[in-house]
């Protein structure tokens, strides 16, 4: 069985170039890694503080006639804030209502949608 070598062969130009470039740019790479870590931490903090309104992706129906109502009655549906524990793409809930959810993002949605996701085990507790 051949023994693994840690030293590049004398004829291995690519390996020698890689090693010399790694030594030359080690400080620059360390600085860049710190910048990336700070950016990732800021992005994670922003995602945890933001609440996204979960709305269906379907377009609103086109209304041809407009009927004026003297007093509009607003019906308020109960909502819940939650996070999903896995990414969900193109989920259908109800007739022609399609949703996308990203892991770790806070959403506000109707209680019926929350209960459905919770019954399937997708809500992060």
Q: What angle do CA 117, 120, 124 make, to 5 degrees?
A: 60
Per-domain residue ranges of the chain: 13-49, 53-120
Question: Which position has the token pair 């809930």?
Answer: 93
Q: What is the C-alpha separation between 55 and 106, in angstroms, rounded? A: 13
Note if the pTM is more than 0.85: no
Name the residue with higher pLDDT: 4 or 72: 72
Q: Which band of pLDDT confidence, cut at 50, 70 and 90, is reported for residue 82?
A: very high
> Residues 63-82: what's their mean pLDDT?
81
What is the chain's mean pLDDT, rounded?
85
CB 48 within 8 A of CB 104: yes
| pLDDT at position 11 over 80 | no
């Amino acid at each position: 069985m051949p023994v693994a070598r840690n030293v590049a062969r004398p004829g291995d130009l690519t390996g020698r170039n890689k090693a010399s470039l790694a030594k030359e740019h080690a400080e620059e790479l360390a600085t860049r890694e710190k910048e990336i870590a700070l950016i990732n931490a800021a992005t994670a903090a922003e995602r945890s503080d933001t609440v996204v309104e979960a709305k269906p992706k379907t377009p609103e129906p086109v209304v041809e006639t407009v009927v004026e109502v003297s007093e509009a009655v607003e019906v308020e549906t109960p909502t819940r804030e939650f996070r999903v524990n896995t990414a969900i793409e193109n989920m259908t809930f109800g007739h022609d209502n399609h949703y996308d959810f990203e892991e770790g993002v806070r959403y506000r949605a109707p209680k019926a949608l929350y209960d459905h996701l919770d019954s399937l085990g997708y809500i992060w507790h």
